[in-house]
Structure 1
Amino acid sequence: MTAPGAVNVTGAQPATTAPMIRRLSPGTMASYGVGAAAYGVKDSGFGTFLLLFYNQVVGVPAATVGFVVMCALIIDAFVDPTIGFLSDRTRSRWGRRHPWMYGAALPIMLGWLLLWNPPAASHQAILGWLFVVAVIVRSAVSAYEVPSQALAAELSGDYDERTRIMAYRYLFGWAGGLIMLIAAYMYFLAPAPGYPNGLLNPAGYRGFAIAGALFMGAAILFSALGTHREIPYLPKQERRILSLRDSFREIAQTVRNRAFAILMLAGVCAYTGQGLVYALSNYLYSFVWGFRGATFVYFSLSLFAGVVIAFVVAPRIGARLAKPRAAAIAALASVAFGTTPYWLRLAGVFPGIGDPAMLPLLFAFATLGTACGVTAYILGASMLADVVEDSEMRTGRRSEGMFFAGGFFVQKCTSGIGIFVCGLILAAAGFPEKAVPGQVPAPVIDRLTLIYACCYVTFNILAAFFYTRFPFGRREHELRMARLTGAPVIDAAPREPFA
């Protein structure tokens, strides 16, 4: 039996617990991937505008905002694995994942509206509001993202197809975030009377909130409906009744997986670095490079060009090289391209503001850095999907929800640890509140640039190191799939010597 829009590569009948080794149609891939646009909107909002909004618009100290947002991660550390555990054990006529996906849309929309409309109150009350609403938003996003990401490991058991599935997810995730960025810079937060710097206009954030809520709700429902027809072909497990003690014992047994632990360490470093870039982006582009108005739009398009390059390159490089090696190389290349303009500026050799060569060079480095960074993320997510069968061989259980809950929690470091580190960097650089571009002293800008570049390099080097420690590759995965499904092994020999 072959699912609609899929080709059964092996010709074997699907097993009761393991996914079919198959290729998915572009339509199925797109339907699955478009749901990530909701997280893209949330991620760009949290990472790019949240600190700026509460610091420069509302007037709360940056380091305090960063600390509050990071503290919300404590709640996420309990919410995400709980959702993953419950999703793995959900049994319904809509399968394990889709009830969660449908149910998350409305809470996400409502929480997003509240986040950008804090009450007129004291700083302490506003910080309390931020903490509570940030927890609500991120918990609601988890209720969609954890089951949706877990679905990737169920749609296909093919080693390379999983990289393609993740490439679609990252393409749409970035597209959603960049669409909202462009809409913010061109319309919602564009310069207006009384606000030559539209990023400081409180009214603009209200429209930004409404548009983002509608966008996220639509993306989630489109994805859930578009993948609904795949439900009969997904792995199924028998219903099991466990005591609370047995449930916790199974959770502990599941997460004690070496490959999973290594990916989590790599992800913490990689996504914290990304969070640092997001949180500081408006500071760097406005105060270091002098961006105004449409320049933000063109820059966002250059970033998306990098995502498109990663969408094309990541599946190909993952098919030719060992995924861990490819991810490590991509992480190192990303930080090299991403920080070069800042090192050259500090050395006094990069074109300055007003030089016709500055923007093209800056955009080119940003495009290449983004392409390499997203390639590393895609390969890392694909490796996480492969961990599912490794765990199944060890425990006898498929725990996609648990593993991807861990992966998603790590992604939240983008708006948690990253924002916290950003607040510390701004404080260490002596960056003033309610600053005006062009009026910040040069030594402050130089300190900001230097500390940022050093932190970003450190996080990416650590990520690359952990990627190289991932313990298995193509051959091991395909042998596991053969044992689980009874299917013949296809090209079990690794295409490159495994590092």
Structure 2
Amino acid sequence: MTLTPRVRRSYALGSVATGTFGTVPGLLLLPYLTDTLGIAALAAGFIVFVPKAWDVVLNPIAGRISDRSTSRRGRRRPFLLRGGIALAVCFALLFAGPGEPTALAAAWVVVAFLGCASAYAFFQVPYVAMPAEMTDDYDERTRLMTWRVAVLALAILVSGATAPAVRDAIGGHTGYRVMGLYVAALLLIGVLGAYFGTRSAPSIPTEAGGDGLRTQLAVVARAPEFRHLLTTFVLQALATGAMLAAVDYVARYLLDSRGQSSVLFACFVAPALLVSGAWSRFADRYGKRRGYTSASVLLAAGALGLVASLSGPAIIVYVATAVAGVGYAGAQVFPMAMLPDVAAIDAARTGQNRIGVFTGVWTAGETLGLALGPGLYALVLAVGGYVSSTGGDADQPHSAEIAIAAGFSVVPAALVLLSLLALRRYRLGAAEVRAAARQSPTEEGAS
């Protein structure tokens, strides 16, 4: 089933919300805790991790609930509106809390971030599940994901570059509060665009799985191709989360300017905007698995080159960031296009729709990786002896500078290379997916 360009663009708008929420907390929440509230790096990493870890439990539940939805507005769409609006409100509150005492400020962040994580689960899981029910065409899913990743890259660029600029223009705790309101507005743009823009999107009729959640999770866990794909993606999310958390520290302490964070983001995301279509054409010719492998190698190479941030010329850092950005674009396009293929194979074999459960487990893994990334980076900072402060102007020992650079480069590169071991075991190709689509018991209802 081929989708209209309007439906592709409208669906992709949801990535304004996913890209913004995936970027800004990872970029600014850890520095907010360590350098505005004065919380020690290790404790700050724990605060960032705990609310996100809650999503590991909640996301499969959200997927199961959306699988069983029977709303006349569509199985998934109502969740986009409710979860998305709640996410924007909670995000505005995240940076609006007190600055002292430290314990109260930390508790405020934990509660508000927990609210963000819960709301995001009920937006993201149904959103990611939608492509499997919008089209059963193997190549159309890649085209749909190409649009999504292009918008995702743009959202990362805009939010990652402008959120720190808004904070810095005002300064202090007030700067963070205004930035929170600004980002909440960006989230609403993506939420409302995706909800209203997909009203005319097709929906392939499928029967929701009748088994309990525990049984369905067991079925998903036994799907080997899903396990290999998920392991690859989670390790890369962990690497990306660590790199994202590092940007503000690298800009301030190694490149000697907080404003360099916007430059780093531009170098990372601008290539992604340019090459998403090229990765799609690569998949048409060589396949999704080979494309994912090639993109991952580029991501690892670029990350390793970022070791130059410790003492090398800034231009080398920018070039390495751009190489990583090219790889990152493909490392988003391919797994997102491969996930519906895995779910389609399962649906053809069982006659039941478990895409919500697959997506719930998938987004739980992604969330865990992105949550552990800043936590891992905070651990690296703590080992390096990083000094927290309330003014963000503490002198750092050389060991802390080494930790800032290593957590930005060597650690993420190693994680991406490790993920390739899992990707090598993924065997699902176009022929199998197309055969499953022909055999699917839902095909008649889709035609």
Q: Which range, TM-score by smaller chain? A: over 0.9
What is residue 14 of structure 1 aligned with on the other side? none
Distance 2:188 2:152 in 1: 14
What is residue 364 of structure 2 aligned with on the other side? 409
What is residue 97 of structure 1 aligned with on the other side? 76
SS at match of 2:440: helix
Q: 1:131 to 1:341 in 2, by over 3 A?
A: closer
Alignment check: 8 A CA contact 1:290 1:437 kept: no
Q: Does 1:234 align with 2:206?
A: no
Query: Which residue, out of 328, 338, 342, partners 2:293?
Result: 328
Amino acid across the alignment from 2:413: V
Which structure 2 segments of 5+ residues have no match?
none
Q: Does 1:165 align with 2:121?
A: no
The sequence identity of aligned pairs, in percent, is 22
Amino acid across the alignment from 1:202: H
Alignment check: 8 A CA contact 2:243 2:409 kept: no
Amino acid across the alignment from 1:223: A
Q: Which moved more, 1:397-406 or 1:416-425?
A: 397-406
* Residues 220-242 of structure 1: per-residue CA shift (max 9 Å, x gap): 11111101111xx31123578x5
Normalization by structure 1: what TM-score? 0.83
Distance 1:370 1:218 in 2: 25
Q: 1:152 to 1:486 in 2, by over 3 A?
A: closer
What is the CA-CA distance between 1:449 and the residue it aligns to? 2.0
What is the CA-CA distance between 1:218 and the residue it aligns to? 2.3
Distance 2:339 2:320 in 1: 29
Distance 2:253 2:69 in 1: 49
Q: Does 1:420 align with 2:420?
A: no
Distance 2:317 2:292 in 1: 24
What is the CA-CA distance between 1:474 and the residue it aligns to? 0.8
Query: Which residue, out of 184, 196, 205, partners 2:163?
Result: 184
What is residue 281 of structure 2 aligned with on the other side? 316
What is the CA-CA distance between 1:451 and the residue it aligns to? 5.0
Which structure 1 segments of 5+ residues have no match?
1-20, 193-197, 352-357, 488-499
Amino acid across the alignment from 1:38: A
Q: Does 1:433 align with 2:388?
A: yes
Amino acid across the alignment from 1:234: S
Query: Which residue, out of 212, 215, 219, partners 1:249?
Result: 215
Query: Which residue, out of 137, 142, 146, partners 2:121?
Result: 142
Amino acid across the alignment from 1:454: V
Q: Does 1:372 align with 2:327?
A: yes
Amino acid across the alignment from 2:65: L
Q: 1:477 to 1:203 in 2, by over 3 A?
A: same
Q: 1:437 to 1:174 in 2, by over 3 A?
A: farther
Q: 1:86 to 1:290 in 2, by over 3 A?
A: same
Distance 2:245 2:368 in 1: 11
Distance 1:204 1:121 in 2: 16
Alignment check: 8 A CA contact 2:216 2:357 kept: no
Aligned pairs (5 A) from 1:271-420: 271-293=237-259, 295-342=260-307, 344=308, 350-351=312-313, 358-359=314-315, 361-420=316-375
What is the CA-CA distance between 1:486 and the residue it aligns to? 9.4
Q: 1:331 to 1:437 in 2, by over 3 A?
A: farther
Q: Which runs of 4+ in 1 moved over 4 A?
A: 435-439
What is residue 192 of structure 2 aligned with on the other side? 221
What is residue 471 of structure 1 aligned with on the other side? 427
Q: Does 1:448 align with 2:393?
A: no
What is residue 175 of structure 2 aligned with on the other side? 204
What is residue 15 of structure 1 aligned with on the other side? none
* Residues 163-190 of structure 1: per-residue CA shift (max 9 Å, x gap): 2211222222232232122223433323
* Residues 262-296 of structure 1: per-residue CA shift (max 9 Å, x gap): 11211110000000001111111221122343x44
Corresponding pairs, count: 443
Alignment check: 8 A CA contact 1:41 1:180 kept: yes
Q: Root-mean-square deviation (CA), in Å?
A: 2.4
Distance 2:344 2:363 in 1: 19
Query: Which residue, out of 199, 215, 230, partners 1:264?
Result: 230
Alignment check: 8 A CA contact 2:247 2:264 kept: no
